[in-house]
Amino acid sequence: MSDRRVPEGYDPYAFEPFAVTADLAVLTVREERLQVLLVERGQEPYAGSWALPGGFVLPPESAEQAARRELAEETGLSEATVAGLHLEQLRTYSEPDRDPRMRVVSVAFTALVPDPPEPRGGGDAAQARWMPYDTVRGLAFDHDRILADAHERVGAKLEYSCLATAFCPPEFTLGELRHVYETVWGVELDRPNFRRKVLTTPGFVQAVEGPPRLTGGRGKPAALYRAGGATTLHPPLLRPEGRPA
C-alpha cells in the first residue's frame, strides 16, 4: 500500500468508499459427504438466495477477526469454539461489479470443522444450514466461485499438509481420517496403503494410549489417534490419477 496519490491533507471521504467484507467457506465431512455451511439472505440483493456466511469488517477489526465474529453470530458456535477454529485466508475478490449496490471487496476464508453442531440461523441470517457441496448451485454474488476455489484449495492442501485432521474430532480412527481424503477428493483410497503412509509419516498422528479401541461401527474396532505435531507432509500424499487444479 502507499499514499502516493494522496496529498498531505487527504480527506478519506473524497473518494468513493470501498466496503470490505469477510466471507467464509466452512466445510465439514458429515454423513459421508462434503458439506458447506450456508445462510439464507433476508434482504436485497439476492433476498431468498443462499450465500456463504460473512459480513462487513468493522473499523477496529482485521478481516480474520470479522470472519470469526460473523461465524459465531450466524451459526451459534460458541466464541471459544470459533476462536480455536482452523481458519485460513483463501483469497480476495475485488471485481468492481461483484456487488450491484456499491464497491465491495471480499476477503474469503476457509474453515474446516469436525462433527459440527446444527447451525442456529442466528445473527442477521434468515436461516442457516449445512448443505452437501455437490448440490450447491446458484449462490448469491460470486459465492459459487468462492466455494469452488475453497474446495480446490482444501483438496490441494490435503496433499502436502496435515490439514485433514482438522476435519476430525480430537480422537479419531484412521478410517475416519481416510474418509476425509476420500470425501474431499472424491476417490477411493487403498486402506492398507493409506494406513502405512499416515503411520510412517513422523508427527502426522499419534496413537492414543488408554482404551486402545473404539466400538460403534460394523467391522473390527479401530485404534484411536490424535493429531500429531507435524503440519506438513514430506513427501506428500498425492491424489491418485488426476492432476490437482
Partner DNA sequence: CCTTTAAGAGTCACCTTGACTATAAAGGAG
Partner DNA sequence: CTCCTTTATAGTCAAGGTGACTCTTAAAGG
Binding site for DNA (CB under 7 A): 173-175, 178, 190-193, 195-197, 200, 213, 215, 217-223, 235-238, 240
107 sits near a second copy (criterion: CB under 8 A): yes
Binder of residue 80, out of DNA, a second copy, none (CB less than 5 to 8 A by kind): none
219 binds, among DNA, a second copy, none (CB under 5 to 8 A by kind): DNA
> For 99, which DSSP code?
S
Burial class (CB in 10 A: 0-12, 13-18, 19+), 45: exposed
Q: Mask of contacts with a second copy, 209-228, x by CB under 8 A?
A: --------------------
CA distances from 150 to 23, 75, 144 (A): 11, 19, 10
Among a second copy, DNA, none, residue 20 binds (CB under 5-8 Å by kind) = a second copy
Options 28-36, 92-100, 211-219, 220-228: segment touching a second copy (CB under 8 A):
92-100
Q: Measured from the CB of residue 209, what is the shortest distance to DNA in angstroms?
A: 14
Other CB atoms within 10 A of residue 155 CB: 17
Specify the residue, 71 or 184, whose C-beta has the smaller distance to DNA.
184
Distance in Å, CB of 120 to a second copy, minimum: 15
Q: Which amino acid is at 108?
A: A
181 binds a second copy (CB under 8 A): no
Query: In 186-223, which residue ranges form alpha helices assigned H by DSSP?
Result: 191-200
**Nearest Cα to 86, choosing from 194, 204, 165?**
165
Question: CB under 5 to 8 A by kind: which of DNA, a second copy, none does 223 bind?
Answer: DNA
Q: What mask of x and - would describe binding to a second copy in positions 39 to 58, judged by CB under 8 A?
A: x-xxxxx-----x-xxxxx-
For residue 152, state whether it binds a second copy (rule: CB under 8 A): no
- Across 57-76, b (16+ Cβ under 10 Å) vs e yields beeeeebeebbbbbbbbbbb
What one-character DSSP code corresponds to residue 158?
H
Integer Cα distance of 66 and 52 in angstroms: 14
Closest distance of CB 182 from DNA, Å: 11
The answer to whether residues 73 and 123 touch, using CB atoms and an 8 Å cutoff, is: yes
Nearer to DNA, 143 or 178 (CB): 178
